[in-house]
Amino acid sequence: MLNWLFVGMTIFVAVTMAATTMLPAKPHKNVILETTLPHEQLNHPAVHALTKNFRKQLWWLALFFSLAGLPIIFIHFDSLALLYFMLLLFGLIGVFYATEVRFIHKMSRLKQQHNWLQKQNTEKVADTQLILTKNRRLLSMQWFIGSGGLLVIGLVSNLWLLGWGTSWPLLLALTLGWALFLLLYWVIAALPVRVLTAQPEYDRVLNDSYRQTWSRQMVLGSYVIGSLPLIISITTMAFSLIYIYFIIVTAFCIYLIYDLIRERNFEDQLLGNFSPQTTTDEDRYWRYAMYINRDDHRLFVPDRVGVNISLNLGRPAGKLIGGITVVLVLGLLFSVTGTLLALDFGGNSIRASATTQTITLKAPGTTTTQIKRQSVQQVRLLQQLPVGAVRVNGIGTNNFAIGNFRVDKRAAKLYVVQDTGTVLLLQTNHRDYYFAAKNPKETQRLYRALQ
Amino acid sequence: MLLKIDVASTVPLYQQIHDQIILGLASGQLQPDEALPAVRQLADELAVNMLTVAKGYNLLKAEGYLISDRRQGTRVAANFQADAVFMQALQEQLHQLTAAAKIRGLDVKDVQELVAAQYQSFEGE
């Protein structure tokens, strides 16, 4: 199941990467492939041929990586399947990015060959009336009170149900995620008014639409992320909402992409008649989809493709935030892979011990549990995990079930190697514990010791 | 109004802001009693130092073009008087300009025509 999921995700990522990397090849204002061209040259045959070739290469790459993902089906170990998937993902992102960089180079060379260089624009324009009412269509900040309230209720219920030790990493990540949406909302509100057409009525429509679309997405995003702790709590206490939540997250992602592309198309449509007047050559600040401008005091800037907000890496804070993000993402990926490798190849990695006072359960990827023997109400030996165990957080693969789950409508903590034929169940007042070592004899030995 | 400044120009930025607002008023792009962005807001929008905008605004306030209070922010003045201070400043500038025009051989009629054309250009905008 997990392997098929990886294959599906590889195909999805490859196709999505091809479709999104292709966006810069469609002119936005008068920028194409990160290169500012005179408006009248956007349809030049040489430009057309280059972008066509770029698109073709991206589709071939998508096909190649989709096929390269198929061998995952035959990998037996979860850790190796994840490692293969991760390496494929890094390769995929690297190759797509390298292809984009190569074609940006080609477009830049074409610009120089045809002497399409633009005059450097040193003029700054501000519409005094528009500045005063620039955020009139921005969604109210009060919307964040709702998502913040959901987040707080969820955090408190999570801490109460699962304890600090189990829930803090997820809670910290979700709080930071929610704060990021609030920060981006603030960034959108603070962005300077864009005088794109020098026609106040058109500029107003463009600004209103841009701020409304982006603030709507930030508010929606804050609700999606802010509701997760509460969903986890409800799943732990009553019934599973996790799959419904995944559907909501997927729907949000699709709507986000749709809405931002719709906004970009709307801008291009409205700007159609004005593009020659909006020519500004900022190519020297954009290096391969990254914005580097020490003289710009802004930390976040709208990108030139029209569907993103970029970090200004020319500022020390930009470098710091960019660096921390990369370290966090890589750290998360490597820690998950390391945990699965430890489970697959770490020998006796899921283990338990019992003294006269306590029972200790250990596994990579989750906290160690110490249960007082007097709090154990029942000890049973099962042949397998009950059907319909729902994961709240932790690892749930074909081979392992580790972390917090909900089993038979009760909160449960699992330390289980699947399909060993023996699972130990320890029932306490508040929670059940399931344990199954790789070697079923160890599970049976613990059962006998607890009898 | 559309306020344009050129960061590569030799004219100081505060002076450009000052001149642009007066030109905006003369051409009707900016109306008496119209609200203007606060110093910080305009500095953010133009990505220039706050002190630059403050200097331009203060000059305009001293000349009677702008007024500001805590409640209503910065606004264009409601009416403008050709008071003694202004008349003296105008005469000094004209004195200098007519001197330069005379040196270059322009007579009174030429200068009058130029002034009339300038007036017309503001009315035409």
- What residues pair up with A310 in beta bridges, in sequence order? A301
Tens place of pLDDT per residue across chain B (125 aa): 899 999 889 999 999 999 999 999 999 999 999 999 999 999 989 989 999 999 999 999 999 999 988 888 899 998 888 888 889 999 999 999 999 999 999 999 999 999 999 989 887 65
Q: Answer whether residue A211 shows pLDDT above 70.
A: yes
> Residue A145: its pLDDT value, please?
97
- The C-alpha atoms of residue A154 and residue A35 are separated, in whole angstroms, by 46
Interface touch B5/A128, C-beta < 8 Å: no
3-state secondary structure of A401: strand
Q: Band the pLDDT of A81: cuts 50, 70, 90.
A: confident
- Mean pLDDT for the stretch of residues A107-125: 85
> Residue A196: its pLDDT value, please?
81
The overall average pLDDT reported for chain A is: 88
DSSP for A340-353, please give it. Answer: HHHHHHSSS-SEEE
Q: Order of strands, edge to edge, in the sheet holding A432-436?
A: A378-382, A423-427, A432-436, A410-417, A400-407, A390-396
DSSP for A278-301, please give it. Answer: G----GGGEETTEE--TT---SEE
Task: Tell me: do B107 and B68 sit in the same domain.
Answer: no
Task: Tell me: do B19 and B69 sit in the same domain.
Answer: yes
- The C-alpha atoms of residue B54 and residue B39 are separated, in whole angstroms, by 6
Task: Find all residues with CB under 8 Å of A119, minimum gap 6, and list them.
Answer: A281
Q: Band the pLDDT of A160: cuts 50, 70, 90.
A: confident
Task: Tell me: do B17 and B59 sit in the same domain.
Answer: yes
Chain A's closest residue to B41, CA to CA, is: A131
Within-domain flag for B3:
no
* Best of B44, B45, B53 to mutate (most A CBs within 10 Å, chain A): B45
Q: Band the pLDDT of A178: cuts 50, 70, 90.
A: very high
Within-domain flag for B19:
yes
Task: Tell me: do B90 and B51 sit in the same domain.
Answer: no
Q: Answer whether residue A172 shows pLDDT above 60.
A: yes
Interface touch B1/A127, C-beta < 8 Å: yes
Interface touch A125/B3, C-beta < 8 Å: yes
Within-domain flag for B41:
yes
| Percent of chain A residues past pLDDT 70, beyond the cut | 97
The Cα of A155 is separated from the nearest Cα of chain B by a number of Å equal to: 37
Task: Tell me: do B24 and B63 sit in the same domain.
Answer: yes
Q: Are strands A410-417 and A432-436 parallel, antiparallel or unpaired?
A: parallel
- The C-alpha atoms of residue A390 and residue A309 are separated, in whole angstroms, by 37
Within-domain flag for B33:
yes
- Mean pLDDT for the stretch of residues A47-53: 95
3-state secondary structure of A226: helix
| Percent of chain A residues past pLDDT 90, beyond the cut | 46
> Residue B47: its pLDDT value, please?
86
Beta-carbon neighbour count of residue A354 at 10 Å?
Answer: 15
A247 touches chain B (CB under 8 A): no
Interface touch A127/B37, C-beta < 8 Å: no
> Residue A31: its pLDDT value, please?
86
Please give the residue that has the higher pLDDT: either B106 or A40.
Answer: B106
Domain boundary pick from B36, B55, B76: B76
Within-domain flag for B24:
yes
- The C-alpha atoms of residue A181 and residue A407 are separated, in whole angstroms, by 34
> Residue A94: its pLDDT value, please?
94
Task: Find which of A75-89, A118-132, A175-189 is predicted with most confidence, using mean pLDDT.
Answer: A175-189
Task: Tell me: do B24 and B52 sit in the same domain.
Answer: yes
For residue A140, the 8-state DSSP code is P
The Cα of B5 is separated from the nearest Cα of chain A by a number of Å equal to: 5
Task: Tell me: do B55 and B39 sit in the same domain.
Answer: yes
Interface touch A128/B46, C-beta < 8 Å: no
> Any idea what the CATH number is for the domain that residue B67 is in?
1.10.10.10
Task: Tell me: do B111 and B60 sit in the same domain.
Answer: no
Q: What is the pLDDT of residues A261-304, one digit of tens each?
A: 999 889 888 887 665 554 456 788 888 888 999 888 888 888 88
Q: Which of A96-105, A289-298, A357-366, A386-395 has the lowest mean pLDDT?
A: A386-395
Indicate whether this complex's ipTM tops 0.85: yes
Task: Tell me: do B72 and B20 sit in the same domain.
Answer: yes
Within-domain flag for B5:
no
Within-domain flag for B50:
yes
A126 touches chain B (CB under 8 A): yes
> Residue A392: its pLDDT value, please?
75
Within-domain flag for B47:
yes
Is residue A84 within 8 Å of residue A72, measured between CB atoms?
yes
Q: How many domains does chain B contain in total?
A: 2
Task: Tell me: do B72 and B97 sit in the same domain.
Answer: no
Show residues of chain A in contact with B16, CB under 8 Å.
Answer: none
A335 touches chain B (CB under 8 A): no
The Cα of B71 is separated from the nearest Cα of chain A by a number of Å equal to: 15
Task: Find which of A98-112, A193-207, A382-396 is predicted with most confidence, using mean pLDDT.
Answer: A98-112
Give me the domain span that covers residue B28: 13-76
Tell me which residues of chain B have a C-beta less than 8 Å from any C-beta of chain A: 1-9, 30, 34-37, 41-42, 44-48
Please give the residue that has the higher pLDDT: either A272 or A137.
Answer: A137
Task: Tell me: do B70 and B88 sit in the same domain.
Answer: no
> Residue A279: its pLDDT value, please?
46
